[in-house]
Amino acid sequence: MDQLFVNLKHSILIFAGNFLPEWAVILISILISVTAIAVFGPVTMMYLTLLERKFVGRIQNRFGPNRVGKWGLLQPLADGVKMLTKEDIVPKGADHFAHFLAPVAIVIPALLVFAVVPFGRNMVAVDLSIGILFFLALSSTTTIWIFVAAWASRNKFSLLGGLRSVAQMVSYEIPMVLSVVPVLMVVGSFSTVAIVEAQSGWNWFVLTPWGLIGFVLFFLTGVAEVNRTPFDLPEGESEIVAGFHTEYSGMKFALFYMAEFMNSFTISAIVSTVYLGGWQGPWLPGWLWLLIKSYALILVMMWFRGTLPRFRVDQLMGFAWKFLLPLALLNIFAAGVWLAFARPVNYLLSAIIVALALFILYFANRPDMPKKRVYRYAVE
Amino acid sequence: MFGFGVLKGMLVTIQNFFASYFSKDHLTTVQYPEERLSAKERYRNFPFLVYDQAPEDPRCVACDICAKECPPKCITIVRDSDAEGKPLKRPKSFDIDYSICMNCGICEEVCPFDAIFMDHEFELAEYGRFEDLMYHKDRLLKPNDHFKKIRPTDATRIDAKLAAKTQKPAPPVGN
Ligand code: SF4
Ligand code: SF4
């Protein structure tokens, strides 16, 4: 079971190798991987929308979509048909080319990062030696297209959304990268495959003191990166209409949505890869483990969405610069200490460092509550 | 304590999520076409005409009071007459334009013969905007049993009143 998809691809290639030249077999091998990702990505996205609507619905004590097909399972298809048949409106003052380009281009990085996600043993499209770097770099280019969309719409709400997106990106990219650094230090490689292999046999990084903090940091900044609640300021419905996609309708809007959901999936998959042991796990096949872990993280994202209100801009910035960034730096120190000492001592030392860091940052970040005023001469 | 409100909130939402699978209180949606809530007795929607024995013999005597009182004037009554042209105490045609009726219930209040009442029917969507929402006598007439079923309290009161009336001799006409 573990190697099901790998064997499937292998047998197709052997079959093709019987009557095709070698270069064609290589081409087919690439095509199979690409097709698998190009199908898996959008299908995941479609059903994530359904999952989210059901989950948030249950949180709000209602059913969520349950009319189209059993349990609403055909709802994503119905939505797809609706999106495709909707009128595509482009504002008169918009930059038509950029307005068209942004939603198309935003999907590309979202799909490309699938390439470095190790779905199982031997199940990675390309084992890049700079896998994590590739992921971090590509996933942050999404913001460029969000800003292009915002700028091209020629709408003040769009532009505000785009500006917020850039500001958020700049702040959260730093703790995000820093939160992966401990893992890179310990593993000594950027490759996602190597990172998973370093966690074999229940050596998941999340089970170390620095790993726990790193996991939370990476996950939170990841949520911020994909603009999901409570970090969804770029599209804050209650403040700036719909933010950067105010002027988008029909399939172009759907593409933004697709990029957002695929990014949520990849960020969850990468977080599980880096901190939760990736496809490692007992009994079940590896690819299933990765899916279970990433879906669990996605459910947590949806849980956030069902619970938390949106951050204010200053809270958002304060959280990144005053809490996440110093914590990430101290976490790297804790990981260094963990590496430098022998087994039982290092856990203790890094736990102390992490706990101290949390304690100090917690109290340093407490909001300044104005004291309750006492009116000495006022009459009751 | 600062920061712990978030955790508290998350606890509340996840409790709601799981409770929605087990407790009816946490999933209050009524799946409308399949399940429905029973209407309250005093609910009113559109008027209908009552008959006691046969639809040919409605309680309505075509006095035209309701048509006159109806604020948007959506009731049209034509009195029936016999072969010699003598007017009869029953309507030849009784039309209510449901597309105009505003559900005020004044027709029910003013009818001196307890012949018209407000119904509970609300699934009235039609394809024809004007012709299908114009309810004629045949669609308006419903048996007294229907009235008893939807509004038992009012029905018993009115039935008792009518029974008392038939037993008493007609009051003498004032001099
Ligand atoms: S319904 Fe009542 S008020 Fe209207 S015409 Fe008939 S008897 Fe008169
Ligand atoms: S309910 Fe009001 S509007 Fe409707 S028919 Fe009766 S009097 Fe007219």
- DSSP calls for A228-286: -TTS-GGG-HHHHTTGGGTT--HHHHHHHHHHHHHHHHHHHHHHHHHHS-TT--SSS-H
Work out the widest C-alpha separation in chain A, in whole angstroms.
99
Residue B13, C-beta contacts closer than 8 angstroms, at least 6 positions apart? A59, A303, A306, A307
* Probe site for chain B from A58, A315, A365, A369 (most B CB atoms < 10 A): A58
Which two three-digit tokens encode residue A77? Answer: 């298809």
- pLDDT (tens digit, 9 = 90+) per residue, B13-26? 888 888 888 888 88
Alpha carbon A205 to its chain's center: 19
Residues of B in contact with A216 (CB under 8 A): none
pLDDT reported for residue B58: 86
- Residue-wise burial string across A91-123, b where 16 or more C-beta atoms lie within 10 A, e elsewhere: beebbeebbbebbebbbebbbbbbbbbbbbbbb
The stretch A323-343 carries a mean pLDDT of 87
Euclidean distance between CA atoms A273 and A256, whole angstroms: 25
Write out the two tokens for B90.
């029953």
Please determine, for residue A110, whether its predicted confidence score (pLDDT) is greater than 80.
yes
| Residue B16 in contact with partner chain A when CB distance is under 8 A | yes
Which residues are CB-neighbours of A345 under 8 A, at least 6 positions away? none
- The answer to whether the Cβ–Cβ distance between B17 and A367 falls below 8 Å is no
Is B172 in CB contact (< 8 Å) with chain A?
no
Q: Is residue B40 in some structural domain?
A: no
User: Structural domain tally of chain B?
Assistant: 1
Beta strands across the sheet bearing B75-81: B75-81, B87-97, B134-135
Residue of B nearest to A55 (CA): B17
Instruction: Give residue A246's pLDDT.
Output: 84
* Residue A238 at interface with chain B, using a CB cutoff of 8 Å: no
Task: Output the pLDDT for position B1.
Answer: 56
Residue B9 domain flag: no
Three-state SS string over A281-299 comes to CCCCCHHHHHHHHHHHHHH
Segment of A82-96, A275-289, B65-79 carrying the highest mean pLDDT:
B65-79
Helix (H) or strand (E) holding A347: helix A343-364
The reported pLDDT for the residue numbered B71 is 92
Q: Using a 6 Å cutoff on CB, does residue B133 contact ligand 2?
A: no
Q: Which residues of A touch B27 (CB under 8 A)?
A: 58, 61-63
Q: Which residues of A touch B9 (CB under 8 A)?
A: 307-308
- Rounded to whole angstroms, the Cα distance separating A168 from A166 reads 5
Cβ contact (<8 Å) for B27 and A307?
no
Cα maximum dimension of chain B: 92
Would you give the DSSP letter of residue A77? H
B102: Cβ below 6 Å to ligand 2?
yes
Residue A76, Cβ density class (10 Å: 0-12 exposed, 13-18 middle, ≥19 buried): buried
CA pair distance A91, A158, nearest whole angstrom: 12
Answer yes or no: is B76 within a domain.
yes
- Ligand 2 geometric centre to CA of B45 (Å): 10
Report whether A65 contacts A76 (CB < 8 A): no
Closest-CA residue of chain B to A364: B2
- The pLDDT of residue B174 is 53
> Cα(A313)–Cα(A240) distance, rounded to whole angstroms?
13
The per-residue pLDDT of chain B, averaged, comes to: 85
User: Is pLDDT of A175 > 70?
Assistant: yes
User: How is residue B113 annotated by DSSP?
Assistant: T
Taking residues A226-254, report their average pLDDT.
81
Q: How many CB pairs under 8 A join A and B?
A: 44
Q: Do A61 and B14 touch (CB under 8 A)?
A: no
- Which pLDDT score, from 0 to 100, does residue B106 have? 92
| Distance of residue B9 Cα from the nearest chain A Cα, in angstroms | 6
If you average pLDDT over residues A196-220, what whole number do you get? 85
- Please answer whether residues A280 and A196 qualify as being in contact, where contact means their C-beta atoms are separated by less than 8 angstroms: yes
Neighbours of A24 (CB within 10 A): 12
ipTM comes to: 0.73
Q: Is the pLDDT of residue A380 over 80?
A: no
Which residues of A are less than 8 Å from B14 in CB distance? Answer: 59, 303
Who has greater pLDDT, B170 or B35? B35
pLDDT for the residue B110: 92
pTM: 0.79
What is the span of the domain harbouring residue B77?
47-163
* Statement: residue B175 has pLDDT above 60: no
**Domain presence at residue B170:** no
Distance from CA of A306 to the nearest CA of B (A): 7
Percent of the residues in chain B that have a pLDDT greater than 70, as a whole number: 94
Query: And the tokens for B109?
Result: 């209040």
CA angle in degrees (0–180, nearest 5) for A350-A358-A228? 115
Q: DSSP 3-state assignment of A113?
A: helix
The answer to whether B141 touches B91, Cβ cutoff 8 Å, is no
A70 touching B (Cβ < 8 Å): no
Residue with structure tokens 């050596």?
A203
Q: Is A307 in contact with B20 (Cβ distance < 8 A)? A: no
Predicted local distance difference test score (pLDDT) of residue B170 = 59
Residues near A77 by Cβ (< 8 Å), separated by ≥ 6?
A46, A68
Residue A249's φ and ψ, nearest 5 degrees, are -140, 170
B60 in ligand 1 pocket by Cβ < 6 Å? Answer: yes
Residues in chain A closer than 8 A to B21 (CB atoms): 58
Strands B47-51 and B141-143, by their bridges, are parallel
User: Quick one: pLDDT at residue B2?
Assistant: 67
Question: How large is the average pLDDT for residues A51-72?
Answer: 85
- CATH number of the domain at B122, please: 3.30.70.3270
Residues A13-35: tens digit of each pLDDT: 888 777 877 788 888 888 888 88
Mean pLDDT for A131-142 is: 87
A1 pLDDT higher than 80: no
Is B2 touching A (CB cutoff 8 A)? yes
